[in-house]
Every structure is written in structure tokens, then in C-alpha cells.
Amino acid sequence: MVVRVAGFVLLLAHLLLVAWVSLRPRDVAWVTAPNTIPLHGLRTVLALGGAEAARLIGEGLLLLAPLGVLLPMADGRLHVSGWASLARTTAAGALVSLAIELLQTAVPGQVVDVDSVLLNTVGVALAHLLVVPAARSRLRRTGAPQGATPTISRVPIAP
């Protein structure tokens, strides 16, 4: 129960931070054109050189990566299929990233970039793969209680 509450609080705090970072207006004299062609922006970033490309790609991967750990943590289930958990978490991360990109269309100075959706989604999936299976197996080994399953008492049907 404590893990679920902590996961939910941290998830909410992270989403608020991401919204603050991603959705505040930029005071710029000009903006680039929106990138709607997948991987086109990544090719442009890679042309900038090693250190700058690594920084920009790392920012894209790390922005929503904590969702890969916080979403399963807020869910709180220990005995679940690893692939199903990965699929749910990755899909949720992709939807959050897409929502951020769509909201950025209304913010001055922010530009839509389909590659950031791809990088954010890959970051969520990588964080999930690196942390969640090991954390779940550790919690299963320690015998952490998952909480009682609610039951409904049997009530006879009236004649």
C-alpha cells in the first residue's frame, strides 16, 4: 500500500514538473518548422556532432523515463505478466508524450516534433525494462504484502 501511494505521489509530481518544463512559453524571435516526418529530426540532430547529439537525444529519452517505473509502482501489482506490464506502460508513456506534443501547439514558441514522441516512448520502455522486473522480483522475495483482495458477501436473492 505504501509503495502504491508513494508511486502515485511521485507520478503526480513528475507529471507536474514535465508539464511545467514542456508547456511554458518561450520568448524567441523565430521558431523552426514543425517536424512531422519520423526520424527526420534525429538525422538533423546527429549531424550536429557527438556531444550535442548525445545531449539532445538524452534529453528526449530521459524526459518521461521515470514514467516507466512510476506507472507500475502506482499500479502496485507484483504478480503480473512482464510483457503485459511493459506494453501497458509503454502505451501510457506514448499517450502522455503525444498529449504533451498536442498541447504544445497552443504554446507560443513551442514546436511539434514527432521524434520527441518516439524518444520519450523509448525512454519509458527502457526505464521499465531496466528497473521494474528486478524491483518486482525483489518485492516478491521479501514477501511484501500486496493487500487484501476485497470480497463481496453473498446475499440471497429475494423470492
DSSP string, 91-150: HHHHHHHHHHHHHHTTSTT---BHHHHHHHHHHHHHHHHHHHHHHHHHHHHHT----PPP
> Considering the domain boundaries, does residue 116 fall inside one?
yes
> Considering the domain boundaries, does residue 69 fall inside one?
yes
Q: Tell me: pLDDT of 105 over 90.
A: no
Q: Tell me: pLDDT of 65 over 60.
A: yes
> Considering the domain boundaries, does residue 62 fall inside one?
yes
Residues in contact with 20: Cβ distance below 8 Å, sequence separation at least 6, in sequence order: none
Tally of domains within the chain = 1
Q: Tell me: pLDDT of 45 over 90.
A: no
- CA geometry: angle at 20 spanning 94 and 58, to 5°? 55
More confident residue, 90 or 32: 90
35 φ, ψ (degrees, to nearest 5): -105, 110
How far is 22 from 14, CA to CA, in rounded Å? 12
Q: Tell me: pLDDT of 71 over 60.
A: yes
How far is 2 from 5, CA to CA, in rounded Å? 5
Say what the pLDDT of residue 149 is: 62
Neighbours of 136 (CB within 10 A): 18
Which residue type, as a one-letter code, is found at position 66? P
> Considering the domain boundaries, does residue 127 fall inside one?
yes
Mean pLDDT, residues 28-52 taken together:
82
Quote the domain boundaries for residue 117: 2-19+37-142
> Considering the domain boundaries, does residue 92 fall inside one?
yes
> Considering the domain boundaries, does residue 104 fall inside one?
yes
136 φ, ψ (degrees, to nearest 5): -65, -40
Q: Tell me: pLDDT of 144 over 60.
A: no
Mean pLDDT, residues 22-40 taken together:
82
Highest mean pLDDT among 35-49, 54-68, 130-144: 54-68
Q: With residue 85 as reference, give the H or E element that holds it.
A: helix 82-104
More confident residue, 89 or 112: 89
Say what the pLDDT of residue 35 is: 82
Say what the pLDDT of residue 4 is: 83
